[in-house]
Structure 1
Amino acid sequence: MLSMVIAAASQPLLAWLMEPVVRDIFINKDETMLLLVPLAIMLIMVIGGGANFCQAVLMNWVGLRIVADLQIKTFSHILNLDLAFFRRTQTGKLIANLTSDSYLIRQATSSTLTSLVKDLLTVVFLVMLMFYENWRLALVVFFVFPLAAWPISVLGKRMRSVVSITQGEIGVLTNLVSETVQGVRHVKAYSMEQREVRRAEKVINGLFSLYMRATRTRALTTPLMEILGGVAIAVVIWYGGSQVIDGITDPGAFFALFTALLLAYRPIRSIANLNATLQEGLAAAQRVFSVLDEAPKILEVDGAGPLLAPDGPVKFDKVKFGYTPGVRALHGISLQVEAGQTAALVGPSGAGKSTILNLIPRFYDVDEGAVFIGSQAIKTVSIGSLRESIALVSQDVVLFDDTIKANIAYGRSGATDEEIVEAAKLAAADDFIGRLSRGYDTFVGERGAKLSGGERQRIAIARALLKNAPILLLDEATASLDAESEREFQDALSVLKKGRTTLVIAHRLATVRSADQIYVLDGGRVVESGSHEHLIGLRGLYSRLYSLQFSEGSK
């Protein structure tokens, strides 16, 4: 703050020195002052320059630190929100919040801290000098620039509105690019390149129009300040010059005031232009804080304790659930997976199989009924201890842009290389990893793009195996494996399942024949349950699905 005050004070000091320049040097021909005044100007410039450097670096550090902390807080908050939030929120919007919105906030924060305060102090000091030199003339100047307050305020509100819309469209563009690049294989397969280009062109042209609106709004500030500045200068020359001619005002005092006016013009114009930047930052901050205002609905109850019996049975008791209000995905589901046993969920698409798996780790909370592990309702235990006891392998495999080793170890921090390799062997992944040039240190690319679908699936399986959790959830975990790899995985799975409670979703019914219990779902209800042989004997939905798959497989 001290450096900012020094930097601001250097400007009126320079203006004040115009008085001895005119009076003592030009009029009185004082040779001593001819030496002292230039030295004083040089000293003021050096001190002012150093103060400007210090305040710019320090205030920028403060501004950048504030925004960096905000980005970290926003990212952390997003990760702690429920899956329901991600179902209704575009990925592009969240990316824009952390990138372009944060950039605008950074610009506004840095500019406000480094420019606004210093420029305001500079104007205040210069106005004080003007009143000191000639208060009547200073009053004339003082009442000219406030006339700009109303139009600048109007322009600021318009800028804020335009920026808010623009940032929303940036989120749309980010989302469009993301989904198009991720789905580029399908784009090319269906020859839809031109359609996607047209979609992008429409959004980009919309952004172009919005940017031009913002540019015009921002540009209006400059001519406004030029006109007012011209009026102020003209009034000062006319009124001040007449006072000098009449002998009322000293020429040195007039030139000191006139110099102060000229020096004040730049910071006043800077403050006016800064309003647009500030409005951009406020619009961006509003979007970021709208995310921070989102509260997770999956919360721990007061006094939630650890899961006491993670190796106990998993039970659904009359569970009802819907992703959207009024639309049920599950209708009074009751089922139980005994400790250490394997249960399979089968049925047509949309029957509610994956929904049941999503409720066990509390990705969502049930609307009615309860889910138990052992004797504890999962709502009464801490979320951390619950999820530490569960390993999940989904058909939608997600790998991170890191090494194979890091992706496998994602399931358990601190795992040794030997444990990672052992998990890969059990998942039938060690052979293909060994054939890669860098082995386990090979980077898999974004979402595992450098690996095949089957290879990605095996890495995900190895991740779950390494976690070694007492509850294992497999959602079409073998969907991308070939017959030989699936057989190897089933062999490993038979060893892994010993002593673990396993819930399996599989569309290929031949893979769940050995399950201890099979639940057949249809329309969010359990319509049949029992062993494979029992269900075949019922000649119901399971028998029809099995016969259909068997007949298709034999063709």
Structure 2
Amino acid sequence: MKKETLSLNSSSFSLIVRLWRDWMSQHLSQIILAFVLMLLFAAFTATFPLLIEKSVELLEEQNPNFFYMPLLIMIVAIVRGLVSYVQTIVSQSVALRIINQIQKAMFGHLMDSDIPSFQAVTSGELMSRFTNDVNMMRDTLSKTLVGLLRNVIVAIFLIGVMFYLDWLLAAIILALLPIAGRPVIRIGRRVRRVATKVQEEMGFLTANLEQSLAGIRLIKSYGMENSEQIRANKLFENIYYQALKLVKGRSRTYPILETVGGISIAAIIAYGGWRIISGTGTLESFVGFLTAVITAYRPIRSLGPLLTSLQEGLSAIQRSFSLLDKKPAIKDVDDAGVLLKCEGSIKFENVFFSYNKSTPALENISFTIRKGQKVALVGPSGAGKSTILNMVLRFYDPDNGRITIDEKDIREVTMASLRSNIALVSQDVFLFDSSVAKNIQFGRPAASQEEIIAAARAAGADEFIEVLPDTYDTIVGERGVKLSGGQQQRISIARAILRKAPILLLDEATSSLDLESEQNIQNALDKLTENKTTIVIAHRLATIMKSDIIYFIDNGQIVESGRHEDLISMNGSYARLCNLQFKDEALNEAE
């Protein structure tokens, strides 16, 4: 148990040190200003007991100057309030700016992360980092840390006043403080562990809710509403019990602090009153001291809840830092070059790759694609076709072998310059909840409206866009829900056309189109692939037949390669797949 306590202390301290070093120190001038304002606030607060003591003294003497004291107290209170206002604004602005910077850093880190990093954690868990954890961090920086520092400073000033008024009574107060301090710190550590669990559960809940909402059509079509409700209820109940456990942990500090506070005040009244009766103390000193104790009681009492809240916040900060500390496995090398004036020749040299380091996804893949050549990848599902496209984009690095573009190893050029030369049209179309124009413009952000319209026309998308309520300004909804699958696919193709990249990757690019729609845009795709190095994965024979070379992939290996006619005449794996998948269409083309 002792070992755990030490590690928790070390962890809390190291987190605060890192928070200061990496984020807070950038705002040193504002933090110093806030600290000075806290000192002023504490100083004005500490004058109240002294003013009360002086008021009692003047009253006992029946001194007419007594009537100036209420005015002086009022002035001090007004100035103290103004100082508190300015200090709060300065402190909050710093805290909110730090949170803003951490959010930007987290999102930037996610954008720089490799694809395997995203596959290792759910999107709901990541969303929880940006919502629940960030909200907790915001409270920690803007309220907890600021409140702790200010209350500690106020307490120190008031304890100084207590020693000035009556050092013996002040010593009694200080002797009682550790009685409350030790259990409060111990409770705070427990609260941090529970808070971490709550945040993890919130991430799990967010992921499940996102999954349910995304699959609402499937849920309703299968009549699974009740099952989903039961599953969600269990998650909500789990969050409830974890949150209740957290509340109970926080609340344990209150009876401890109230008891110690009550004992302290009772002891002061008893001992101070005895001294006045015995003639060894004065009424004004006693009243002033009691005022200091009562004034200090609130900030000292709040230290317990603030310390437990700090532990909650530190657990959120730790989760955020763990995200920032995760280094991407795929990143630019230090001296990475820039892929300029890309011609588009692609070469795989003895490439081996596996997702789980055990079952190979690609095994000894070697091929060369010349500039402007069109290559089709064919094979059963899970054979490794999409993996090859992912490797060209450098979503993954080979376990062995290498991939070159224009005879440059793609690991030795920046990923930004590599991907700027590639356009991808995937079967999994993703559209942002924005306008049609913005979704097309995503292919080249600097493109003009005229270029966007031209790309849409080339993709055969202009016909349906023109009849939309706001044409190119129509909002397509989340993931393009307001458009049909075929319309979404055409927007994706228009996006690729607009990109004007020398390398084109088509992963089932026309899978959502019916035969008539596909025929309408096939000419556009033919124009798009002119003078472009193209790798296409397709399920339509017409698309495959136009390829310069076809590679049949099975179990991560190239089993056959050649033109359509040659592969059909070989009567091998490709021919068998054509007979099964393309049926009459394949046989007619073979004849």
> Which bin holds the TM-score, normalised by the shorter protein?
over 0.9
Distance 1:29 1:552, change over 3 A: farther
Unpaired runs of 5+ residues, structure 1, are none
Please state if 1:395 is matched with 2:435.
no
SS in 2 for 1:392: strand
Alignment deviations for residues 77-126 of structure 1 (CA, whole Å, 9 cap, x no partner) = 01100000011111111101111101101101112343112111110111
Please state if 1:57 is matched with 2:72.
no
Alignment deviations for residues 294-347 of structure 1 (CA, whole Å, 9 cap, x no partner) = 111212233221225522321111110011112210011112222111000010
2:287 match: 255
Which of residues 507, 512, 537 in structure 1 aligns to 2:569? Answer: 537
Alignment deviations for residues 517-554 of structure 1 (CA, whole Å, 9 cap, x no partner) = 00001100000000000000010111111112343669
Which of residues 33, 36, 40 in structure 2 aligns to 1:6? Answer: 40
SS in 2 for 1:499: coil
2:538 match: 506
Which of residues 454, 463, 467 in structure 2 aligns to 1:422? Answer: 454
Give the count of matched residue pairs: 553
1:32 partner letter: N
1:20 partner letter: K
1:356 partner letter: I
1:186 match: 218
**How far has the Cα of 1:405 moved from its partner?**
0.3
2:325 match: 293
2:387 partner letter: T
Contact 1:55/1:114 (<8 A) preserved: no
Unpaired runs of 5+ residues, structure 2, are 1-34
SS in 2 for 1:17: helix
In structure 1, distance between residues paired with 2:385 and 2:554: 9
Which of residues 119, 134, 140 in structure 2 aligns to 1:108? Answer: 140
Please state if 1:15 is matched with 2:25.
no
Map 1:445-456; keep pairs closer than 5 Å: 445-456=477-488
Contact 2:578/2:586 (<8 A) preserved: no
**How far has the Cα of 1:361 moved from its partner?**
1.3
Map 1:195-206; keep pairs closer than 5 Å: 195-206=227-238
**How far has the Cα of 1:375 moved from its partner?**
1.4
In structure 2, distance between residues paired with 1:281 and 1:297: 29
2:63 partner letter: D
2:348 match: 316
In structure 1, distance between residues paired with 2:318 and 2:154: 30
SS in 2 for 1:479: coil
Instruction: Please give the root-mean-square deviation of Cα atoms over the aligned residues, in Å.
Output: 1.3
Contact 2:579/2:586 (<8 A) preserved: no
1:482 match: 514
1:145 match: 177
Alignment deviations for residues 205-245 of structure 1 (CA, whole Å, 9 cap, x no partner) = 00000110111111111111110000000110111111111
Contact 2:340/2:417 (<8 A) preserved: no
**How far has the Cα of 1:185 moved from its partner?**
0.9
TM-score for the superposition, normalised by structure 2: 0.92
Distance 1:554 1:188, change over 3 A: farther
In structure 1, distance between residues paired with 2:258 and 2:443: 63
Please state if 1:269 is matched with 2:301.
yes
**How far has the Cα of 1:434 moved from its partner?**
0.4
Please state if 1:30 is matched with 2:63.
yes
In structure 2, distance between residues paired with 1:182 and 1:257: 64
In structure 1, distance between residues paired with 2:179 and 2:309: 21
Identity across the alignment (%): 44
Contact 1:123/1:264 (<8 A) preserved: yes
Pick which of 5-14 and 279-288 moved more. 5-14
Contact 2:58/2:65 (<8 A) preserved: no
Poorly superposed stretches of 4+, deviation over 4 Å? 552-555
Which of residues 302, 326, 345 in structure 1 aligns to 2:358? Answer: 326
Contact 1:60/1:113 (<8 A) preserved: no
**How far has the Cα of 1:154 moved from its partner?**
1.2
In structure 2, distance between residues paired with 1:308 and 1:439: 36
1:31 partner letter: P
Contact 2:541/2:582 (<8 A) preserved: no
Please state if 1:213 is matched with 2:245.
yes
Map 1:451-466; keep pairs closer than 5 Å: 451-466=483-498
2:550 match: 518
2:114 match: 82
Contact 1:187/1:193 (<8 A) preserved: yes
Contact 2:53/2:285 (<8 A) preserved: yes
In structure 2, distance between residues paired with 1:467 and 1:166: 45
SS in 1 for 2:360: coil
1:189 partner letter: S
